[in-house]
Amino acid sequence: MAAPPSRRQQAPFLIGLVLILAALPVGWFVFLREPPAPLPPSAPKRPLVTEAEAKKAVELVLSSFDGTVDVKHGDGPWEPARKDMPLRPTDVVRTGRGSWAVVLNGEAVELRMEAETEISVEEISNELSKVMLSSGLATATVRGRSNVRHTFILKAKGADAEASTAQGTFTMSNNGKGTVSVGTREGDVKLTGKEGKYVIVRAGQRSIVRPGQAPTEPAPIPSSVFVKMEWPTGTQRNREVTVVGHTDPGNRVTVDGANVATDEDGKFTLSVSLKDGPNPVQVTAVNVGGARQTEQQDLTFEAPPPPSTPQPRKRSGKIEVDAGGIWDPP
């Protein structure tokens, strides 16, 4: 049976109404809704930093100096130092007579070089600084940090000695011939010698490493310095004289400010050039605790008199005559 005509006429109207109602949300979303606020620009992504790259970021700096200080980069030539000069592995620093320099590794390490001292940089990282003391006297101060444990190693060139600490202050002397002395002012220092044998040098103590030997048992740093000199006596007739002395092993000896090499027992020999008249000679010995002793002597030079010239013999004015025996009696 066919549907009544009235329902047929209502069907298109109802379909249209449904379509209009369905379109209202879409129209509101497209035309009437406020656009969302733009997102803030995203921060650039940080590049991933490897552990090796983080270690390379640390460097030593020649913080301050006075006098004659030179730096050599690798196999390059020596050049005058500059303030805040960066130092990297294989770099070498040396101080001249009467000079000093301070090297820093951020806030972790401070290394003070005394006169006529030479060091070379071996390794630098967040956790480790390693420096070689070729000769002379240097004092290291290592400050502990809560976030990173930093170890500082001072190795003696030409010797079996190596001192290390994570927090403390110590002084090392190297005579350049294998005898090393280490004295600790603060904290504990591990001093390693022949075949890895080591001792712990605590505050106020010192230990000595001789060529091919283990470190000596730590003992209190002497408050005074022993120096014995054998001065030449009397007026000197030669321009060059030899002076012999003896001090404790590992002490540093200077003559009028210039370094003098000592042997493993603390003996030393020096040659002194003399000028006319009195010549004051000053010998100073310093130990790793900072104590010093000075001995002074005036050596007087007097040139020997010139050799005397033989005088010619004077002849008599008399004339000698040979009478030939004519006055002899018959």
Per-residue pLDDT for 303 more than 80?
A: yes
Closest CA to 70 of 78, 61, 62, 60: 78
Question: Mean pLDDT throughout 27-51?
Answer: 51
Write down the pLDDT at residue 279. Answer: 95
Long-range contacts for 66-74 (Cβ within 8 Å, ≥24 apart)? 66/99, 66/100, 66/101, 67/95, 67/96, 67/97, 67/98, 67/99, 67/100, 67/115, 68/95, 68/96, 68/97, 68/99, 69/93, 69/94, 69/95, 69/96, 69/99, 69/101, 70/94, 70/96
Rounded to an integer, what distance in angstroms lies between the CA atom of residue 189 and that of residue 154? 11
Domain boundaries, the chain: 53-220, 227-301
Question: Across the chain, what does the average pLDDT equal?
Answer: 84
Record: fold of 53-220: Jelly Rolls (2.60.120)
d(CA 249, CA 209): 9
| 137-195 pLDDT tens trace | 999 999 876 677 889 999 999 998 999 999 999 999 999 889 999 999 999 999 999 88
Query: How confident is residue 311, by pLDDT bands cut at 50, 70 and 90?
Result: low
In terms of CATH, what superfamily is 227-301? Immunoglobulins (2.60.40.10)
- Minimal CA–CA distance to 180: which of 201, 199, 207, 198? 207
Band of the pLDDT at 12, cuts 50, 70, 90?
low
